[in-house]
Structure formats: structure tokens, C-alpha cells
Structure 1
């Protein structure tokens, strides 16, 4: 099959609105390109329902290569909805390319995922959950969907939430939320096993703070956890500090509650 293009606008930009397009920027004189090319073609056939391969000869189309900042080849760029969303340079081994593709190729359910994220931001949790469960059934290995479902389930079913996080392949934009969910799940488990917590004057107050968090009383929980940091930062392996960070990451850095309490948290750490 010939993957070379003579119409970049049609074969890459326009087509990427329908299916992700992987572009191999290459040239005939480039030895690593001759190594990488057959590997990409093999993978393109294997994953033809998920993405397509287009090869662009940089000697024939130097203006396009220049437009996309090609300084060395082979250079591989992934286009989605007209834009480059990821890339790599050099002749990587096949298994590394497959790992990269698994992390980089957008889900065919991406529009549904974005809708679910919008609903979550609006506080329409149950509506978001229905969409995410539908996507999860159709794309069971999607790490982002697992983390978003875990974010909802951490209150309904902490153990299932933790299982989803542990089975998810994380990306740079999901790792912090995954860590927050893990922390919160383990905190909620402590409510079921209070006797395992170390006896200490702050123990009862610590349990109250966790209860506030479980009841989604984020401000009250943060106020208590910050006070606990001042009183006994080391308690439960710095549990109050980790709880605050988890709440901030769960809510998001721009959430009004995060913005309101970030400074007090920072000050408490250095009292």
C-alpha cells in the first residue's frame, strides 16, 4: 500500500477530523527513515480502524516540513482535528511506538468524554456517570475514562474507585487526579477501621475531618486538616497534609475552595 501524499491538506488536515492521522516526515536519503517506515506501515495495518498513516517526503514538500518545524528526520506527528497533538523523532523500536500510540491516539468516544467532563464541571454527576459508563463499556482500556469514573465512585464505592485507578494507564494530565483519588479512597477506608489509627489527642479531630471530606464538606474538611497540620503534622504519616493536597487536586487548582485555602495550607506547613 502506498502511504505517500501529494495533497497534505486533504489527506492529513481534513481527514484528521474523521480519524487520527499519523504523519511520517521522511526522505529517501535518510537511513533511520528506511528502518522506521516499514514498522509504521505494519502498525498502520494492525490498527487501521483506529488511525491512518500518511508519509510526507520532506525533499518534495520542504515548505510543509518547514511549516511544522521539522529539524531532523524521521519525525512522526499525530494529527487530530487539524492539529498536532503529539510527536516523536527517531527510529523507535516497535514496542515503544505501540506504547506511544496507546497513550496518544484519542478515543473514538472523545466527544462523549468531553461532554461527560463538561457535565462534571456543571455538577451533573449522574448524567456524566451514565455517559462515562457507556464509553467504558466500549473502550474498556481508556485510562482517562477510568479516572473520571473513579472520581465519581470514590464517594459511592471507594474500593471500586481504587481498583479503577490501579488498572488505569495514566497520562501526564491524569496522574495527579489519580493520586488524589487514591488518597481519598484510603482515607475513607480509615473510617471503617478507626481502631487501626494511632491513639493520639488529634485522632478524633482527624476522623471528623475525614467525615467532612466524605460528606463533601470540602471547606470544613480543609479547615480541620490545616489545623491538624499545625497541631501534629506527622500524625498518620502526614495524613492531613496528603488529604489537603488530594482535595486541591480533586477539585482543581482553579476551584474557588482551592484558591481560598491554598495560602493557609502553605503557611501551616512551615509553622
Structure 2
């Protein structure tokens, strides 16, 4: 069980749900039913041996996240898969009902090799399968820009940069025509910068402390943070540039900011009955922040 805040939400919930289902428990210290369901969920997380990940969000302390999910009462639990909410429930359900809810969505334990079940917390099953499916989609239809973007993005998020560069190479000429390919290239450039001697975090921090308008140092720090997949911290640094000079270096800060949004935004699932799935809270928040700065 992990306590989640706005700062680690993208990593612990959105990114994690791309690998394994994540159950988010919205609670508060004063909530009696929360004290009943909390231990049951923690018990089931252990029993299910890596088939899902449990995180807890204090709705009083993290009101922005609670509002983003439309939480109206607690406890409320939301299950995310592939970066998107897929189901949820309110109230302190008994253990049997909790198991019914989980079993409806989670892959059966017998479908996982024994060694994968044991290793699930460290290396969740499914990531290799997802990459293989995307690789097959690209191989089957090399002109499918959506499939190629998703494949390169997945490789980058998995830290497999050499493979990402190889998969990206056939569409480099499209960078000026396809914005999402431009976004991939900008994040790749940030990762390349992180491997240079200039990408010294202490030196960059010292330069910024001495001169808050040292945009080159701020941009370097933002690239370094992006290379570490500290996405929100990187965008925060880019906002510091944008608040002072929106047009600096041919709008480099805005363009990298948008590139990060493109990279971290989860795919929109198909929905039934005319329902509109909620936007990813982190992406929605940082889109609003960009708009408020750019339009100010």
C-alpha cells in the first residue's frame, strides 16, 4: 500500500497502471467506514500477490485529486487500468464483495507463470506483451502513425531507448508534419542531453539560484528531470521559464512541455452508453496551468 499525493500520482498511479491494475482508495482519517475497508484492501493486496496494486489518497489533503475524480463520498475506490479509470465503488464493502469486484477485472492467477506471480511487485506482468502487440501492429502496418507513436512511446517509458530510436528512425522525416512525432523527438533530445557533461544537477541548480532568469540552466534542469521521467517536476521548471519569457529560444519551453503531455497522456478508452471517461487528473491540471500562463 502506498500513500499518493499530487506529486507522485503520475508515477504511482498512471504509469503503474500501464503495467498492473491500480486500485485507488480515497479515504480520510475521520471516516469510520474507511477504517473498516482499509485493512481489508491491504489484506487482499497481499493475498492477490501482485495481481493489483493498492494506493491510498487522503481526500482531505489531496482535494485536487479528489475533485478530478469527482469524489462525493468516502470511502470511494477507483480501479485504473492502462492509465484510465475502468470501474469503482463507494462504501465499505464486505470482503466477499471486494473479491467479486477484483475478480471481475483482474487476470486470473493461473494465467501467470509461477515465477511471474512471485516477481509481480518488482516486474509486473503485461509490459512485454503490450510491447509485442505494438511491435506487431507496426510491422503489420508500417504507415500506421498511431501504432508507431504508441510503440515508440512505450519503449521510451520502459527505458529501452536504443530500441525506441530504431523504431522512430523510419518516421524522422515526418517530425515537422506530425506533432506527436515532434514530441517524441523532443523528449529523446532531453534524454540525450542528460547523458552529456553539461547535465550536472548541482551546477544547474547553482546557476538558477544565482540568476532566476538563467533560462538555459532552467531548460537544462527540465530536460534532466524529463530524462529521469520526473514529468511533473520537469513541467514545473518549464513553467518557471514560461512565466518569465514565453518566447525564449523559439518557444522551446512550451514545446517540450507539450511533448511531455503527449508522452504521459494515457490512451482514451472506448466507452459505452455515451459516457465520457474522466480526463487524467495530472494531464488536466498541467494543461490548465499551461493555458493560464500562455494566455496571461
TM-score range, shorter chain: 0.3 to 0.5
- Who wins on radius of gyration, i.e. which is larger? 1
- When normalised by structure 1's length, the TM-score is 0.44
Report 1 or 2 for greater relative contact order, CA contacts < 8 Å, sequence distance ≥ 6.
2
